[in-house]
Structure 1
Amino acid sequence: MILIVDDAPENIISLKKVLEKNDFEVDTASSGEEALKKILKKSYVLIILDVQMPGMDGFEVAEAISGYSRAKETAIIFLSAASANLNLITKGYSSGGLDYISKPVDINILLLKVKTFYRIYEQSRALNEMQTALREEIEFRKEAERKKDEFISIASHELKTPMTSIKGYIQLLERSLDKNDIETVRTRLHKVQNQVEKLHLLIADLLDISKIESGKLKFNKKYFEFEGLVSHIAEIMQQSNPQVKIIIKNKVEAQIYADEMRIEQVIINFMTNAIKYAPDSEEIHISSELKGNNLCFSVKDFGIGMSPEHQQKIFDKFYRIEETSARFQGLGIGLYICQEIIERHNGIIGVNSVLGEGSEFHFTIPLNPEKEEIKIENNEF
């Protein structure tokens, strides 16, 4: 937008008419004081400013404008009588003007200058946008590099932990075998098996991340009994974790069209996390429910919970809650993979949690691939 500032109404009318005829948006002010008020509220590409005005003259207006952050990139063209001397012109440039036009105004010259300033403004704006985008991209490369380095460090540590345990238990097994202590051998073999399983799960997560990044995470969808899968997982988890009572609150007798192995992966992740992050809890609750054509599933624990800030980021790749990272192992990719799996089933995933009271992780997916619209909000489960 262009602002014309002149105390002569006839000058404003003629300039405004010409500029609008050439598709420029125009605003006007009949005094320096009025111009300053408008500049405080609006942004202008160009100000055509008369020098000789009662009250504040054009130079005073230009000097005042130079202190406004809103107008720091606004170009100023001074209008002055043809008799203006060199000192007056010099003063105009020193007060912030970029060009000078003598009255009576040659409309063709004015239009040429206005178009030039507009072109410079557009080029400057495009350059600024490119610089901003480039800075953001550089910061994103830096953040991605930081996260990658952090992940490699965490992954190395997490993989090293079960490997160290396996090595230690094997050494103990050798001693037990030498003593022919079969019972101790069984116990230590069981511990080795647990560490191997941890290692297997870590490697599986790393492979899944690689497949997600390369777009090669495959799904084999078919119909299966959902409740049968849940009961089977709950039974195995209960045997592996006798210290926690796994309570199935609700059941659904329904077939679902999905990748059974991947849905099992999500449920196991939910239940494993519920047990891990609620070490002092005596029970966790599992619930399934039908809502229209959608299946809703949740796992609720009564453990440490998390703040709203962490709930917003918990499904982000490599995200780990700093306060718990030293206490609980993990790569920070399990829930990210779960989210990818559920979203690839046209579903939604979420968490409800209260700090110090526990968390409830849940997902909703369509039963039937022909009716895949999910209308249930995350916080409705």
Structure 2
Amino acid sequence: MTHSTKFNWHGWFNKARPRILIWYLLLTIFSSVTSILATRYIFYERIHAQSKAYVLRQVEEFRQLASEQTSNSSRANREEITNLFDAFLSKYKPLDSDDYAIALVQGRVYQYTNLFPQTLLTQDAELIQQWGQLTQFQQGVVSTSVGKLYYMAEPVKFDGRTQGVLAIVHCADSIYQLVDGAILLIVPATLGVLGVAAAIAWATAGRVLSPLQTLTETAQSITESDMSQRIPVEGTDEIAKLTITFNQMLDRLQFAFASQREFLKDAGHELRTPITVIWGYLETLKYRPQHQEQTILLAIDELARMSRLVNDLLLLAKAEHSDFLILKPEELDWLTEELYLKVRSLANRNWKLESKGLTPIRLDRQRLTQAMMNLVQNAIRHTQEGDTIAIGSSVRENQARLWVSDTGEGILPEDQQRIFERFARATTCDCQFEGYGLGLSIVQAIAQAHGGRVELFSQPRQGSTFTIVIPLSTQDSAINESDSHHRRQSSHHRFPEVWVSGTRLHDHRR
């Protein structure tokens, strides 16, 4: 049993390569036909212009000869008219066999050149008779039995009466036929050229579209588990730029998927630990009922740690959304003072307020406070009692800068980039601390959401300085504050008792 396969023409025409070929052929055919017709028209017009110039030149010569002979005679007779025609026709030299002249005296044919077609005298006698009756100069194109003729007829007058007519005739049919024959020879040659051009266009289109086919095959072969394939780049044209862009997109996707897999693996690992602990506590509770209260407290503590971890993960996921921030104009100095008052009761450290920026800026007060508090908590974990932790802010080079510095253990150079990754922890010099390694990732996400960045300067055993850099918007004042800490009011670390009301700070002693 045989199965016949029907070619899918509709699907074939929907492909880019056939469409390019078809449009190319249509454009080429239109250009070729237009060129052939325009060439034919130009040739015809030039032939007509040459015919007109030749006939007019003969008429001008006849007029000159007629004026010379009639000026010596005041009265015409038949002999003088015939002598005039004889004199002109004897000197008449046609360019080719298609040029001829005929003289008519008193409406009758008197004489014509040797090449004058006899069929005009018999089959087109009416035209000859019409020329013989003319009283004024006439020119035109007329179709006759011998072809299309261009003529000029010049009457000869004596005493205001027409005595004869000379008609100069040119037939360009043979030249027109020659042109048409040449055009007919051009048509098959053009078709042959079109065939060769179509083959070249088909091969060229295939070569140009080959990277797109490779791109399609690569895109179809990419899976979440294998994104290593890339498209080779050839040339510098638009297809090459598209290939480069596609490869760069694959790099970003591969990095994103790898980060996502690593994130899910780390998150699963971090969540598994408290779940396992809680499970163990609850499993042993039936064997140790006397420790029920202690077991419940431990389970609640682990659940609280899980809750913090989930909230941090949700915060990092939300940081990529457009509605993550609620930007409002804020006074940078008031925000800095408020942060200082909040943090100095968190631990027994030597707290300092180094500087306060004076320029109002647009930011999300809650998110930025959260980022600064994370930096402060990080500084507390890496310092001991008596160490100094300082916060401050300033405006430099159209950028607002908020920092937290400490004199703690510092961060090793190989860890300074890695600690901003999710679930990453620094290999500190002396201490080990609890945490999920999301704090600095949250700080970086909040800074980047503001269009800024986090800068780190740290040396082992000499402390660290984390700086959140936020560029000023066009609505903020573009200034530099070289002495932001020299305000009219005193910094709050100079007096002991202050409290916060709204966004303003008040001294109890006032």
Normalised by the length of structure 2, the TM-score is: 0.38
Normalised by the length of structure 1, the TM-score is: 0.49
